[in-house]
Chain A
C-alpha cells in the first residue's frame, strides 16, 4: 500500500480528516524548506505538498506567484525539491510527500529520469497542474513503473464523464479545486463543495481532498465536514511573507506559518466523522 493510501486509511480509522499544507520549495529560503516540513508535521500536517518553483505558475494567485518568484530568486528548482524530500526522509519515513507543479520542469528532466529520482528520494506522488488526463500517458507510465501516485485535479466545471475518466487515471487521492479561479482566491461555498464532492464519490472510491480558498480554522472545518482532506497553501505562505516583511526573522516567519497550521488543525479536528 502506498504511504498516501495508508495515511488516509489510518485517519479514517481514527475518524479524522487529513490536513495537507502546501509550501513552495525554496520559499522564503532554500535552507528552511526541510526544517519547515518537519515543523509542519509536528503541528498537525498529515501529508505534505511541496510546490515546485516555476517561472510561469499559471494557476496561482498573487500570493503563491510571489512565493515562486522568491524561490526562483533563491535558485530553487525541481532538483532542489527532490533533494528536500530526500533530506526530509532521513528523519521522517512515514509522512507522505507529494510534489505539485507544472509540466515543463518534469518534461525537461525527462519522465523516466524524474520517476527514478523521485522514487529514490522517497517521494510519494506528483500533481501536475497542466497535465490533464488527455496528456498524461507518458508520465503516468513512468510513475506507475516506480509506484508513485498520480494526483489529479477535479474542478467545479468538470462534467461527470470527465470525472469518470480522471478517476480511471488517478491514484492516492483526488484533489477537488473548490472554486473557479486561481489559488488563494475568493471565499468558499461549503454547500457547493459538498455537492461536487458527492459527485466525485459517485465515480471514485479514492479519498477526496479539497483545496483553493481555505484560509483559516473555520473554512477548514466546513470543508473537513464534507471531504477527506483539506489543503491549505496561500494562507501559510502569506503568514510567512507578512512576518518577514514586518522585519521579523526567519524563525518568526516559520513560527507564524506553523502557528496558523495548528489553529487550522483544531478547525479540522472539530469535525469528527
Chain B
C-alpha cells in the first residue's frame, strides 16, 4: 500500500484535523470534544512559547536527568559480529523508562490549565509510575487505570504507584489489559472532564494526543542524532525501537525521518507468533479501523470487534498503534517487523549477562530484532536501539517463566 508517489512531507502531519494521511482524527463521544479543542488550542500556543519550553527543558534536565547517554554495547556487538550497536539509554531516566519525557510535558499542560486531578491508563505500569511521580511532585490528585491482568504481572509497579500517593484502579472488563484500561480512563474522563487532565501514555488516542506525545518524546531522537554524529562522526545506518502504542519509537524515529540513509525498524510484539492470533502486532497482521479516538491499524475480527492480544510484555499488549505509525507504514518510510516472546526473553538475558544492563521486556523486543539486523551488517555501520526502559519491573515475570518462586 505504498500509495504516495511523491515524497511524503514528514513535518506536515498531522493536519489541522489531526490526520496523518487517512489515519488519526478525533473519534470520541461529543462530551469530550470541547476538552480536546481546549487542549489543542493551549498546546498550539504553549509549543511556541519560549518560557514553556524553558520550563520543560529544565524539568527534563534536572528532574528526569537528561540527556540520556548513547552507550556502545561493545562486547555484545562483538559477539553478534556485525554492526556497532549503540543503546539510547532511556532506562536511566528518572522512573526507569522513556514514559516520563511525556508525563513531565503533559503535567506542565495540566498545570497551565489549572487542573487539580490527573488520570492515566497503564499497561506495564511505567506510564502509571511516571504519572504518579509527576503528580506527587506537583501535588495533584492521581488515579491510574490498569487491567486486572497487568496488576497481577506488574505488582512491583502497582506498589510503586501506591507509595507515590496514586490510587490504582484495577479494570475488570474485556481482556483486562491495556486496551480496557484505556476504555475505563476515557469513561472517567467523560465523567470528570471539567477538573481532570487525562495524561495519555502513548502516541494514540484522539487528536491532539498523538501529536503532543510525539513532540514530547522527540527529545530521544534529537539527542540520539547529535550524540551519534558526535560519537561516530556520522549518522547511524539504522534505528530500532519496540512498538506498543509507539511513543518510544516515534520519539527516536521522528527527528531522523528526513535522513534518507537511515533505515528504521519498528518492532511489534509477535507473542507466540503472528500466525497464531496470540500476538500484538497490528501493523504486521492487522487492518485499519477506529479505536480509542483514532483511525489506525488494529487487530480485529470479521465483525470489526477488537481482538484480545498476547505479549509477554504488558507494555506492548495492545491491539492498536499510534496513527502516525500507520501512516509511516503505508508510506514505506519505516519497516515494521516482529519479535516473538521467546526471542525477547533471550535478548533480555543476553543483554543482562553480556553488558550488565537489564532491559525492560518491551525494549527486549527491539534488542532481539537489532541482534538479527546487526549480524547482517558490517562493523563500519551502526545501529541505534532505543533501550526504552529498565527491566526491574519484569524480574517477576522472567523468574516465573524460568520456574522460580520467590
Check A153/B290 contact, CB under 8 A, given A55-B174, A58-B186: no
Contact B174 A104 (CB under 8 A): no
For window 300-318 of B, CB contacts with A under 8 Å fall at 300, 302-307
A182→B191 contact, CB < 8 A: yes
Q: Which residue of A lies closest to B186 (CB)?
A: A58
Task: Say yes or no: is B31 at the interface (Cβ < 8 Å to chain A).
Answer: yes
Q: Mark A59-76, 1 if CB is under 8 A from B, else 0.
A: 111000100010010000
A77 closest partner in B (C-beta): B303
A132 to B186, CA, bound (A): 16
Task: Report yes or no: B26 in contact with A132, Cβ–Cβ below 8 A.
Answer: yes
CB pair B303 A103 closer than 8 Å: no
Interface size class of A (residues with CB under 8 A): 35 or more
* CB neighbours of A109 from chain B (8 A): 304
Give Cα A69 to B35, complex, Å. 29
Instruction: With CB as the reference atom, state the residue of chain B lying closest to A78.
Output: B303
Among residues of B, the one whose C-beta sits closest to the C-beta of A134 is: B26
Minimum C-beta distance from B23 to chain A (A)? 12
In the bound assembly, the distance between CA atoms of A115 and B298 in angstroms comes to 23
Q: Separation in Å of the B177 CB from the closest CB of chain A?
A: 12
Contact A58 B183 (CB under 8 A): yes
Chain B positions 273 through 311: 1 when the CB is less than 8 Å from some CB of chain A, otherwise 0: 000000000000001011111010010101111110000
Please indicate which of the listed interface residues A65, A157, A181 has the most CB atoms of chain B within 10 Å of its own CB: A157
Residues of A within 8 A of B174 (CB): 55-56, 69
Whether A56 contacts B30 in the complex (CB less than 8 A), given A104-B306, A105-B304, comes out as: no
| Residues of chain B lying within 8 A (CB to CB) of residue A78 | 303-304
Given the known inter-chain contacts A59-B29, A158-B30, A180-B194, please indicate yes or no for A72 contacting B290, CB distance below 8 A.
Answer: no
Residues of chain A lying within 8 A (CB to CB) of residue B289: 104, 107-108
- Which among A135, A154, A156, A182 is the interface contact of B25 at CB below 8 angstroms? A135
Does A131 sit within 8 A of B, measured CB to CB? yes
Establish whether residues A162 and B187, one from each chain, have CB atoms under 8 Å apart when the complex forms.
no
Which of A57, A59, A158, A162 interacts with B190 by CB under 8 Å?
A: A59
Closest beta carbon of chain B to A22's beta carbon, Å: 15
Q: Does B378 contact A (CB under 8 A)?
A: no
Query: What string of 1s and 0s marks CB contacts (under 8 Å) between A100-127 and chain B?
Result: 0011111111000000000000000000
In this complex, the member of B30, B183, B304 whose beta carbon has the largest number of chain A beta carbons within 10 angstroms is B30
Check: A130 CB closer than 8 A to any chain B CB. yes
The answer for the CA separation of A55 and B179 in the assembled complex, in Å, is: 10
Task: State the CA gap A80–B351 with chains docked (Å).
Answer: 51
| Count of inter-chain pairs, beta carbons less than 8 A | 123
- Partner of A177 from B26, B31, B173, B293 at Cβ < 8 Å: B31
CB distance from B155 to the nearest CB of A (A): 25
CB under 8 Å from chain B, chain A span 69-97:
69, 72, 77-79
- Chain B residue total in the interface (Cβ 8 A): 39
- Residues of chain A within 8 A of B27, CB atoms compared: 103, 130-132, 135
- A180-B193 in contact (CB<8A): yes
Neighbouring B residues of A181 by C-beta, 8 Å: 31, 187, 190-191
Partner of A103, one of B183, B290, B302: B290
Complex formed: what's the CA distance from A155 to B291 in Å?
21
Chain A, 155-180, CB within 8 A of any chain B CB: 155-159, 162, 166, 177, 180
Contact among B34, B187, B193, B194 for A58, CB-based, below 8 A: B187
Smallest CB separation, A130 vs chain B (Å): 5
Give CA–CA (A99, B205) in the complex, Å: 25
User: Are B25 and A157 touching (Cβ within 8 A)?
Assistant: no
B17 close to chain A: CB less than 8 A: yes
Chain A residues with Cβ below 8 Å from B287 are 108
Expressed in whole angstroms, the minimum distance between the Cβ of B132 and any Cβ of chain A is 24
Task: Check: B33 CB closer than 8 A to any chain A CB.
Answer: yes
> A185 in the interface, Cβ–Cβ < 8 Å?
yes
Q: In the complex, which residues of chain A have a beta carbon less than 8 angstroms from the beta carbon of B31?
A: 153, 155-158, 177, 180-181
User: In the bound complex, what is the Cα–Cα distance between A54 and B174 (angstroms)?
Assistant: 10
Complex Cα gap A156–B25 (Å): 22
Q: Is the CB of A55 within 8 A of B305?
A: yes
Question: Quick one: which of A58, A72, A152, A180 has the most chain B CB within 10 A?
Answer: A58
Nearest-Cβ distance from residue B121 to partner chain A, whole angstroms: 12
Separation of A180 and B303 alpha carbons in the complex (Å): 30
Question: Are the CB atoms of A54 and B30 closer together than 8 Å?
Answer: no
Known A-B contacts A131-B27, A181-B191; the reply to A157 vs B290 at CB < 8 A is no
> Does B28 belong to the interface (CB within 8 Å)?
yes
Write the chain B residue with the least CB distance to A105: B304
Residues from chain A with Cβ under 8 Å of B191 in the complex? 180-182, 185
Q: How many angstroms from the CA of A156 to the CA of B292 in the assembled complex? A: 21
Task: Report the minimum CB–CB distance from A243 to chain B (whole Å).
Answer: 22
Contact A56 B187 (CB under 8 A): no
| Nearest B-chain residue to A128, judged by Cβ | B27
Are B304 and A182 touching (Cβ within 8 A)? no
Known contacts A132-B26, A134-B26, A153-B29; A56 and B190 CB within 8 A of each other: no
In B168-187, the 8 Å CB interface with A consists of 173-174, 179-180, 183, 186-187
17 contacts between A and B (CB under 8 A): A53-B305, A56-B291, A56-B306, A58-B29, A58-B183, A60-B187, A65-B173, A72-B305, A77-B305, A102-B290, A106-B304, A108-B303, A132-B29, A153-B31, A154-B30, A155-B33, A159-B34
User: A134-B17, A157-B34 given. 5 additional CB < 8 A pairs?
Assistant: A65-B173, A69-B174, A104-B300, A132-B26, A155-B30
